[in-house]
Amino acid sequence: MDAVRSNSSADLPIFWKVHELVFLARNYAYGLIKGQPARPVLRYCDEYDRLLRKYANLPLKSAKVFEIGFGTRAGIMIALTSLGVDAYGVDLDEPILHGSLREIRDIYRKNGFERALKSSIRFYAFDLLWRRQFAQELKRRGATLQIPRNRLRVQDAASVDWPDHSLDLICSQAVFEHIPISSLQRLVPKMVRWLKPSGIASITPDIFTGISGGHLLEWFDLRKNRRRRSEPWEHLRKRRFHGNVYLNELTRAEYRRMFSQYFEILEENVLQPNQGREFYTPEVAEELKEYPEEEIFSNGVQFVLRPKPLM
């Protein structure tokens, strides 16, 4: 039932859910200790500014932006609005912004018990600290942290409507791989209509064929000496374990095909080239020989898109 209400929980045995939760907590803790989480969110904003200036001759500050899949922390949306950008976002899951009992009850009602539990643990264990680090980063840029509650819509992105040609930028990080193909077939043509002719989209799915594309959290941290139950590219090989999320399993070539029906692809950037190369032994390569190396070493791939002129 939860799988329908929130796609960040899949139908898996409880021991594996706990295992995945422990790895998630370890990954967050590692990021916090290293002071990493605040910076990437601002780096996304800098990247959107670069793209808008290059392709639309517009600074991010003057753009109207729509984020697809802001996540329960709504980090990019918090960053964009704190920087004074006219930004809006959508997500299937309720965000957790204040950690109040009422908010947790609303998450439970909308997205189920598991989502409410995960969001509450994360909020009190990590998000409050993250906010403090983030507020300091913003201060260095002369900005103050804003929580954009009334700019966050909670619904399926494919059911959203914007007036035609009303947006300068549509952005999305690590979301499209979670959207069923039938919904993508509705969403992608809508995105073309929503964008101004000069507008662009920056869509970065986590590609299924990469080493962490199966969303087994053991493979989100690639340090070699870590103990893992699964093998490298387990999700393409033995398939014994599954991530605790819904995945549409699209390959990089399939995204390229889908986007190029409606968009000109201006850039296609692999965020971490060669990721997992040290695990790609000759035996693994032999088993995966049906996949070209560009699929195997894709993880986050940023597609920068401009609407094709309408016929």
Q: How far is the CB of 134 from ligand SAM (least distance, A)?
A: 13
Q: How far is the CB of 152 from ligand SAM (least distance, A)?
A: 11
In whole angstroms, what is the distance from residue 1 CA to residue 8 CA? 12
Q: Which residue is nearest to ligand SAM (CB)?
A: 71
What is the side-by-side strand order in the sheet with 195-204? Answer: 152-154, 86-91, 64-68, 167-173, 195-204, 301-307, 263-270
* 7 is a site residue for ligand SAM (CB under 6 A): yes
Q: How far is the CB of 54 from ligand SAM (least distance, A)?
A: 23
> Which residue's CB is nearer to ligand SAM, number 151 or number 284?
151
In whole angstroms, what is the distance from residue 233 CA to residue 287 CA? 10
> Within positions 161 to 200, which residues make up the interface with ligand SAM, using CB under 6 A?
173-175, 178-179, 183
Q: How far is the CB of 251 from ligand SAM (least distance, A)?
A: 19
177: buried, middle or exposed (CB in 10 Å: 19+, 13-18, 0-12)? Answer: buried
* 90 is a site residue for ligand SAM (CB under 6 A): yes
DSSP string, 210-249: STTTT--GGGSS--TT---SSPTTGGGTT-----SS----
Contact between 169 and 200 under an 8 Å Cβ cutoff? The reply is yes
Tokens of 208: 């299924």
In whole angstroms, what is the distance from residue 103 CA to residue 73 CA? 13
* 71 is a site residue for ligand SAM (CB under 6 A): yes
* 91 is a site residue for ligand SAM (CB under 6 A): yes
* 85 is a site residue for ligand SAM (CB under 6 A): no
> Which residue's CB is nearer to ligand SAM, number 81 or number 288?
81
> Which residue's CB is nearer to ligand SAM, number 135 or number 154?
154
Binding site for ligand SAM (CB under 6 A): 7-8, 69-72, 75, 90-93, 156-158, 173-175, 178-179, 183
